[in-house]
Amino acid sequence: MTGQDFLDGQLLLIDKPLEWTSFQVVNKVRWLIRKQFGFKKIKVGHAGTLDPLASGLLLICTGKFTKRITEFQAQHKEYTGTFTLGATRPSFDMETEIDQEFDLSGLTEAAIEAATQQFQGTITQYPPIFSAVKQDGKRLYELARKGQQTEIKPREVDILHFSLSRIALPEVDFTVQCTKGTYIRSLANDFGKALDNGAYLSALRRTKIGDYSVEDAMGITAFEDYISSL
């Protein structure tokens, strides 16, 4: 592959590591391409953000393929991960501290399995207050970190598949296939409410975007080795 190939447009499948932002991955890929081929600049962007506390598939577009980002963003996503029951956190994930705890003794596996049925098909969910969703020109997380209250507007999303693969309280492992804009953190919080309990997202990995799989993706180090060999 040549530098011109990257300018003409490439779709790169990157396995984003934990604690990296999607923006950091884009910057790293851009820097590696510029360094290898001596470019002053090249367009690089991602087709769908992953939170720092999530790992998995990130689609990176280079050159002319950045015009196709919206097309890739619109494709269905698949995630695997873990909900932790018996508590809630304001961010709905591990970013913030536990603010409420619940008794798990009354929960049965049958009830937990049955609760998944409420989250099939088109559902309404509220984005987390700690999210990048814009409302009145401001990012919700900016308001949250300032302690400002705001009324969050709900949105409709489609859950194409939602199943549990392990129940070992307080942890529940899941697989979700969903449309663009679905917040798995919100799904965790709502799942806890459906059980008259609490839940937050304690692990998340994006495994697929459309027909693209994380199994075919390269880690950052592998991509660095690959591009330096060109």
Domain at 9, CATH number: 3.30.2350.10
Question: pLDDT tier at 142 (50, 70, 90 boundaries)?
Answer: low
- Whether 45 and 152 share a structural domain: no
Q: Write down the mean pLDDT value for the chain.
A: 92
Nearest CA to 32 out of 174, 220, 215 is that of: 220
Which is it for strands 100-101 and 138-139: parallel, antiparallel or unpaired?
A: unpaired
Let me know whether 140 and 174 are in one domain: yes
Q: Quick: pLDDT tens for 35-68.
A: 999 999 999 999 999 989 999 999 999 999 999 9
* Domain limits for position 196: 77-209
State mean pLDDT over 194-208: 98
Instruction: List CB contacts of 137: < 8 A, sequence separation 6 or more.
Output: none
DSSP 3-state assignment of 46? strand
Whether the pLDDT of residue 77 is over 60: the answer is yes
pLDDT level of residue 132 (50, 70, 90 thresholds): low
Using DSSP's 3-state secondary structure scheme, residue 101 falls into: strand
Q: Which pLDDT score is estimated for 146?
A: 56
Look at the block and give the residue holding tokens 């015009």. Answer: 67
Residue 137 shares a structural domain with residue 182: yes
Averaged over 106-121, what is the pLDDT? Answer: 96
Residues 68 and 83 in one domain: no
Residues 29, 62 within the same domain: yes
What pTM value is reported for the model? 0.91
Counting the structural domains of the chain, the total is 2
Active site residues: 51
Looking at the DSSP bridge assignments, the partners of residue 212 are 209
Q: Look at residue 129 in the predicted model and tell me its pLDDT.
A: 76
Two tokens at 95? Answer: 């970013």
51 & 94 share domain = no
